[in-house]
A and B are shown apart, each in its own frame.
Chain A
Amino acid sequence: MRVKELIATVLFGLAVVAAWEFIPPAMGIRRFIFPNFSTTMAEFSRMVSAENLWRHVLSTATMTAAGFVLGSLLGAVGGYLLGLSSFAERILSPYILGLQIAPKVAFAPLFIMWFGFTDWPKLLVTVLIVFFPILVNVLQAMKTVDRDQVNLARAYAMSRSQIFFKVEMPSTMPALMAGLRIGATLAVIGVTVGELVGGNSGLGFLITFGQGQANAAMVFNSILLLTAIGIVLYGIVSFFEARILHYIPRVER
């Protein structure tokens, strides 16, 4: 059964590529409007040799990883701190809600005004966009830790910090990991927006550059590579999640 499913998935992919290759020319769509598969691949080789493609990929990947790690770290720490202080949580929760709803990518032009065409605007947008889902997930998990389990630790005369590290923090791991998975997909969006609005490196920059040259194949390739970066980051997070949450019974597929 598994093998059959795999074959079907591969065949579907091949069918999509074939459709992409043959349908646009058959319909008479011009290549610079909608490049077919082989045109896109040819442009890919050209980008590698003439546009320094790997340097741009590396730049975007680095920014994505840095923004993700920093945003996650800040979000998790914020979530734990608010989870430990119900007073601070009550005072700050309306603002957190507001910031959570605010479209974070809209801050990008502002950051460019402040920091110029450097790496900082991209990094800040990414940190901001990754920060909230992780903070909210961790905070919610901290608020729903099993009271009886905390009481058990109290009865064993554990200190506040022991209760945090031995009971509360491990209890929040599933929520933290779920937040990180969301953050991984958002990080690519943050970096892309940062590069689109202001930058001279990265795949987002190549997208605006390609647009300016009416080079749709360049835009296609950049989007594909951005997706690939997102998938790799998501895969890394899932890899660690499976290892960290090994104690949760998996539902048989």
Chain B
Amino acid sequence: MKRTGAMALALEFQNVGKSFSGGKNRPDLKAIDGVSFEVRKKEFVAIVGPSGCGKSTVLNLTAGLDRPTTGSVKVSGETVSGPNPHVGFMLQKDLLLPWRTIRRNVEFGLEARPVSAAERRDRATRELARCKISDFAGHYPFQLSGGMRQRAALARTLAIEPDIVLLDEPFSALDAQTKMLLQKSFGRTITEGGITTLLITHDLSEAVAMADRILVMSDRPGRIVEELIVDLPDRDNPIARRAHPRAGSFINHLYASLKLDERAA
């Protein structure tokens, strides 16, 4: 029984494998293997897993920057066959263009589209307000703190009105306090906007604090080894959610699932 389409899926991985050729007389490197999962519209899914297990590979396949070796990737029901304008992504690096003001950076993604300059401005104004950085619209990236720059990067990502937003460790370069505040800010923006999100992270408490559902990936070649539904309230406020009495048991469960106590550093 196939339920494709009926449930309004934003993203679908069907038995996806990806190998990288190892070069001359070295074996191919299997980054991920047999990965299947789905993200429904408006859902917030997190992927956790050890480093090098293929999390960023999942992002590259979804964004169409790479092709799967086996299986298929679908965004909003359509197979991804190249760079895909319906996917927005954001990395640990903000990727802001240093020679552009924050406003012009937010407009950047719209410049490849048939959107008038006036509409670009309107959309940028809206996203700047939504991400609470309107005051910095005329600033250059070097004038902003790391947290503010990530907000600008989120505004740029949302400006193209993507069907799904991919966040690849967006908070991991920030100090602990900025990180918490930014998680809260992102949590609210994403929940209020009903934005479909796939968060890639190695921070287990971050996954529990922000996601509806968590997928656990194994060591390379990465596979989905567990799915955890986080039925906690306050998805729009990660700080409150982290303090929830049951949050700890989710984190402990993930901890055990990744066998962190048996693992050498």
Residues in chain A within 8 A of chain B (CB atoms): 146, 148-149, 151-159, 162, 166-167, 170, 173, 247-249
The 3 closest A-B pairs by CB, nearest first: A158-B112, A156-B109, A249-B142
Which residue of A146, A154, A159, A162 has the most chain B CB atoms within 10 A of its CB atom? A154
Beta-carbon contact of A248 and B142 below 8 Å: yes
- Bound-state CA distance A146–B65 (Å) is 15
Beta-carbon contact of B95 and A149 below 8 Å: yes
Given contacts A151-B65, A247-B142, A248-B142, contact A157 B95 (CB under 8 A): no
Majority SS at the chain A contact face? helix
Distance (Å) between the CB of B77 and the closest chain A CB? 19
Q: Which residues of B contact A149 (CB under 8 A)?
A: 95, 97
Beta-carbon contact of B65 and A155 below 8 Å: yes
8 Å CB contact of A148 from B87, B93, B141 = B93
- Bound-state CA distance A154–B64 (Å) is 9
Beta-carbon contact of B91 and A148 below 8 Å: yes
Q: Is B138 an interface residue (CB 8 A)?
A: no
Distance (Å) between the CB of A174 and the closest chain B CB? 10
Q: Is B84 an interface residue (CB 8 A)?
A: yes
Residues in chain B within 8 A of chain A (CB atoms): 63-65, 83-85, 87, 89, 91, 93, 95, 97-100, 108-109, 111-113, 140-142, 160
8 Å CB contact of B111 from A152, A154, A166 = A166
Given contacts A148-B91, A158-B111, contact A170 B99 (CB under 8 A): yes
Beta-carbon contact of A156 and B65 below 8 Å: no
Q: Which residues of A contact B83 (CB under 8 A)?
A: 154-157
Given contacts A148-B91, A156-B85, A157-B83, contact A248 B98 (CB under 8 A): yes
Q: Which residues of A contact B111 (CB under 8 A)?
A: 156, 158, 162, 166
Q: Which residues of B contact A156 (CB under 8 A)?
A: 83, 85, 108-109, 111-112, 160
- Bound-state CA distance A135–B108 (Å) is 29
- Bound-state CA distance A156–B97 (Å) is 14
Q: Which residues of A contact B93 (CB under 8 A)?
A: 148
Beta-carbon contact of B95 and A159 below 8 Å: no
- Bound-state CA distance A106–B176 (Å) is 61
8 Å CB contact of B87 from A155, A158, A159 = A155
Distance (Å) between the CB of B97 and the closest chain A CB? 7
8 Å CB contact of B84 from A155, A158, A248 = A155
Beta-carbon contact of B85 and A152 below 8 Å: no
- Bound-state CA distance A146–B99 (Å) is 14
- Bound-state CA distance A155–B65 (Å) is 7
Beta-carbon contact of B89 and A155 below 8 Å: yes
Q: Which residues of B contact A162 (CB under 8 A)?
A: 111-112
Beta-carbon contact of A173 and B99 below 8 Å: yes
Distance (Å) between the CB of B112 and the closest chain A CB? 4
Q: Which residues of B contact A148 (CB under 8 A)?
A: 91, 93, 95
- Bound-state CA distance A146–B141 (Å) is 16
Distance (Å) between the CB of B88 and the closest chain A CB? 8
Q: List 19 A-B contacts (CB under 8 A).
A: A146-B95, A148-B93, A148-B95, A149-B95, A149-B97, A151-B63, A152-B89, A154-B65, A155-B65, A155-B84, A155-B89, A156-B109, A157-B85, A157-B113, A166-B108, A166-B111, A167-B97, A247-B99, A247-B141
